[in-house]
């Protein structure tokens, strides 16, 4: 029997109340080094929306079971994909006032903080806990620098997912999983003709990462895994005809994405799909948490999912990590937090609610039953697909390049000319490669 997220949370809470969930269970170790003294831990993230908050709460609850003397101080800053959080964090780090731990993302994003010398080396935790053997090797490669680790991953998110309102798609006779981008554009047109929002998105400049996410899906769907990955290495050809084709698809899709509702966060956008106002959304799988946790929808009945068009067999991923910043005031508490984040119990408590899968190499048969229908699909795809990294969620481009790409997309919002967009993307890549 599959245990739902809700049941899992309720069971964890009840067990904790009865004092049965021991600190030795399922791989989480009790905190040492705090001598039982009360202390606090500032946790900085951007998890405030949809199921993000509930997932953070689930991780916090599990953490406090093992560390009752550490007061969890939630310093989350609202704004999907960390748009506001990253800017505020940069100011705090520059002023020498880091939180005790902050959310980063595997790949180039965490690399920026390592290069800036802002993170402590936490390789000792990998050695103590055997994580260098139990974590997924692809993720490990992305978070190490010269064989040393500076962060601890807590999840794997699936980025190239097309979400749909199943009932609406059935009513309109449009597919929930169009295989190709032209087939998708055709379905968007039908949803438009029937008076629905075809693709839900916010077109507000403050939410331009939502467009970047869709553009990323169109590029992967057109260039394939190898073509996409090549865009991030020297010799990349951003002026190619294939990129032109992908941007043209992006434009056609955006013509069916009116952005009704203005400055909407990703979960407000998901709500349009959940309520049947819109047919589709292209978004990471934190959206699933919104459907299930916020709206209590049923998979394959109320909502559905598929690889975004043209990306079957490809898993575009991102991985959230936590860090030990240099100068953290409650260093021992941070180490206890990172130990929690790396543990099987901590990762399961978090990912089952967040709409993500654990970043470990193996998920056992019993553990698998904690994950819902969608997440079991994602677990399967993760093991059999070709893995590529996300631009929008930190893996492929350092912050400076990513910001230039976001500026290019901001330009497209004002003047939807794909020729200008492509030139700006070429310039951003040239600037990056000439600086490294």
Residues making contact with ligand GAL (CB under 6 A): 46-47, 52, 80-82, 105, 157, 266, 284, 286, 318, 320, 393
Q: Residue 56 Cβ, how far from ligand GAL at the closest point, in Å?
A: 10
Q: What angle do CA 410, 266, 171 make, to 5 degrees?
A: 110
The answer to whether the beta carbons of residues 352 and 124 sit under 8 Å apart is no
Closer residue to ligand GAL (CB): 232 or 266? 266
Q: Residue 69 Cβ, how far from ligand GAL at the closest point, in Å?
A: 28
The answer to whether the beta carbons of residues 155 and 51 sit under 8 Å apart is no
Q: Which residue has the tokens 């040393």?
A: 148
Cα separation values, 189 from 196, 220, 399, Å? 10, 22, 36
Q: What angle do CA 59, 65, 69 make, to 5 degrees?
A: 105
Q: Residue 83 Cβ, how far from ligand GAL at the closest point, in Å?
A: 9
Q: Residue 280 Cβ, how far from ligand GAL at the closest point, in Å?
A: 18
Which of 337, 345, 342, 349 is CA-nearest to residue 31? 337
CB-based contacts of 245, cutoff 8 Å, min separation 6: 222
Angular region, 245: left φ>0, alpha ψ -120 to 50, beta rest: alpha
Closer residue to ligand GAL (CB): 196 or 360? 360
Taking every pair of Cα atoms in the chain, the longest distance, rounded to a whole number of angstroms, is: 66
Q: Residue 114 Cβ, how far from ligand GAL at the closest point, in Å?
A: 18
Radius of gyration of the chain (CA): 21
Closer residue to ligand GAL (CB): 159 or 199? 159
Closer residue to ligand GAL (CB): 227 or 389? 389
Closer residue to ligand GAL (CB): 284 or 307? 284
Q: Residue 209 Cβ, how far from ligand GAL at the closest point, in Å?
A: 8
Closer residue to ligand GAL (CB): 188 or 271? 271
What is the DSSP code (8-state) at residue 158? E
Closer residue to ligand GAL (CB): 267 or 332? 267
Q: Residue 52 Cβ, how far from ligand GAL at the closest point, in Å?
A: 5
C-alpha span between 75 and 6 (Å, rounded): 25
Q: Residue 274 Cβ, how far from ligand GAL at the closest point, in Å?
A: 16
Alpha helices in 69-180 (DSSP H): 83-94, 108-115, 123-129, 131-134, 137-143, 166-172
Closer residue to ligand GAL (CB): 285 or 345? 285
């Amino acid at each position: 029997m599959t245990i739902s997220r809700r049941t899992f949370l309720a069971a964890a809470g009840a067990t904790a109340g009865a004092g049965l969930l021991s600190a030795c269970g399922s791989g989480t170790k009790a905190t040492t080094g705090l001598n039982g003294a009360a202390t606090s831990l500032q946790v900085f993230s951007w998890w405030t929306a949809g199921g993000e908050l509930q997932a953070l709460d689930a991780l916090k609850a599990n953490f406090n079971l093992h560390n009752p003397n550490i007061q969890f101080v939630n310093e989350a800053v609202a704004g999907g994909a960390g748009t506001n959080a990253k800017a505020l964090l940069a100011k705090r780090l520059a002023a020498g006032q880091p939180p005790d731990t902050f959310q980063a993302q595997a790949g180039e994003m965490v690399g920026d903080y390592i290069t800036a010398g802002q993170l402590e080396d936490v390789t000792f935790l990998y050695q103590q806990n055997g994580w260098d053997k139990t974590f997924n090797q692809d993720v490990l490669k992305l978070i190490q620098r010269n064989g040393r680790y500076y962060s601890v991953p807590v999840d794997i998110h699936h980025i190239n997912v097309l979400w749909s309102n199943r009932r609406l798609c059935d009513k309109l006779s449009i597919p929930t999983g169009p295989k190709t981008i032209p087939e998708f554009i055709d379905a968007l047109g039908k949803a438009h003709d029937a008076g629905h929002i075809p693709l839900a998105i916010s077109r507000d400049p403050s939410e331009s990462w939502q467009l970047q996410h869709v553009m990323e899906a169109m590029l992967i769907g057109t260039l394939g895994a190898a073509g996409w990955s090549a865009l991030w290495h020297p010799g990349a050809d951003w002026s190619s005809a294939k990129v032109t084709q992908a941007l043209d698809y992006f434009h056609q899709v955006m013509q069916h994405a009116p952005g009704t509702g203005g400055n909407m966060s990703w979960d407000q956008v998901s709500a349009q799909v959940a309520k049947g106002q819109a047919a589709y959304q292209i978004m990471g799988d934190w959206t699933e948490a919104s459907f299930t946790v916020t709206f209590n929808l049923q998979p394959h009945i109320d909502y559905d999912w598929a690889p975004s068009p043209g990306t079957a067999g490809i898993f575009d991923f991102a991985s959230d990590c936590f860090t030990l910043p240099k100068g953290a005031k409650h260093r021992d508490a941070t180490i206890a937090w990172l130990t929690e984040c790396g543990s099987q119990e901590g990762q399961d408590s978090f990912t089952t609610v967040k709409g993500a899968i654990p970043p470990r190499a193996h998920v056992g048969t019993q553990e698998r039953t904690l994950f819902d229908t969608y997440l079991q699909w994602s677990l399967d795809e993760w093991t059999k697909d070709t893995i590529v990294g996300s631009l929008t969620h930190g893996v492929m481009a350092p912050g400076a390049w990513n910001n230039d790409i976001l500026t290019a997309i901001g330009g497209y919002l004002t003047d939807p000319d794909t020729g200008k967009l492509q030139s700006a993307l070429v310039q951003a890549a040239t600037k990056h490669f000439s600086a490294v």
